[in-house]
Every structure is written in C-alpha cells, then in structure tokens.
Amino acid sequence: MFARVYAAAALVALGTTAAAQDAPFGSDTDQDYAADLWAAMEEDGLIGPDAPVIFPYAGTEPHGFQLSTLYTTATVDGHEGVLVIKNNYGPSGVSADEVVTDPQGHLAAVTVMFKRAEGYDDETGNWFYAKYLKDGALDRNPAGMALAGLVGKNADAGCIACHQNAGGGDYLFTTDADLSETLTMAD
C-alpha cells in the first residue's frame, strides 16, 4: 500500500500521463538494465532463498514495516559499482524475529541503489534506483511506469526526491561512509 501511495504521489508530481511518459525513469533501457542488475544479484547469491539473512530494523514509508540493508558491490555490463540492497518486509505489525525466521515469507519488495559509472547522472550521484517485487519483476506506479532508473528526479516524490535529503550528500540515509572506498578495501 505504501508503495502505491508513494508512486501515485510521484505521478502527481510529474503532472500528467504525457509527462509521465517522458519521465527520466521506466524506459525500456532502464528496465533492461534493472533486469541485468537483478541477474547479477541472483548470480552473487544476494537475493532469493539463499541470500544472507541480515537482522532487520523498523521500517519507514515507502519501504516495509521491517527492513534489512546490505552494502556490497556488483558488476553489471562490465561496470563494478557500490550496491545497496534493501529488503522490505511486511505486513504491518511483523516483528524482526518473525522476519528472521521466515524472510522469504515476509518479503514484500526489494529496493536497490546501484552506483553507475560517472556520467550516468552526476547531478544525482550516478545512482540507479529500482524497486522489484519479490519475484524479480519491476514494481510499477499507478500509470504503469516501471520503477527503475532515475525515479523521482526533478519531482516532489520518488526515490531521488526523498534520498536527496539524506545527510552527507551521498543519497544514503543509513550511513555517511564512503562506500566506494570501504567496499573496495574489503575485497
């Protein structure tokens, strides 16, 4: 429900259906890239039933009621970048213990930020956003636009509109660490 309300707000911020068709996200290219990103996450064992279980914490809109966040790197189309995977769990009232016991049963969606190469969109930190359903299909807003790419750029709602308010200028709410340096050193 939260995702639908949030996506609807993003569509309203864009103005009209015609404007939504010209939005900086959801294109065929974005959807293809999101599919490649999902495949990379699957190949690396970062999603699905064998994914690492990370202890969840209380969530906020538009994500889940419980969340877990994994920071790593991935390679997509020959580019290695920082990857932030947020598992969104529900329903309302679900406890962290219930999620740990049955993560796949409580998984509602997977939201991802992937740091693309410089020049992708320097203005927004070169982050590519995607919201997947638990089966890997892209979630869509009420207008049918796939939630992949520069979701919420130049809008009042959406991923970028929210994440641009994160401290540290890095679009990340959960850390101000320089992940590109930290994750490279961990390899």
Inter-residue contact 125 to 154 (CB < 8 Å)? no
Q: How many angstroms from the chain centroid is the CA of residue 53?
A: 18
- Which runs of E-coded beta strand occur in 10-91? 57-58, 66-76, 79-89
- What the block records as the tokens of 19 is 């404007």
Task: Give the pLDDT score at 100.
Answer: 94
d(CA 170, CA 157): 18
Q: In whole angstroms, what is the distance from residue 32 CA to residue 148 CA?
A: 9
| pLDDT at 2 (0 to 100) | 35
The owner of tokens 């990340």 is 172
* Residues counted in the chain: 187
The separation between CA 88 and the C-alpha centre of its own chain, rounded to angstroms, equals 10
Handedness of CA 88, 12, 151, 173 (dihedral sign): negative
Residue 96 has a CB neighbour count (10 Å cut-off) of: 15
Identify the sign of the CA torsion 169, 173, 176, 180: negative
Segments in the chain below pLDDT 70? 1-23, 176-187
CB 89 within 8 Å of CB 67: yes
> Quick check: 142 and 11 in contact, CB under 8 A?
yes
pLDDT value at residue 42: 96
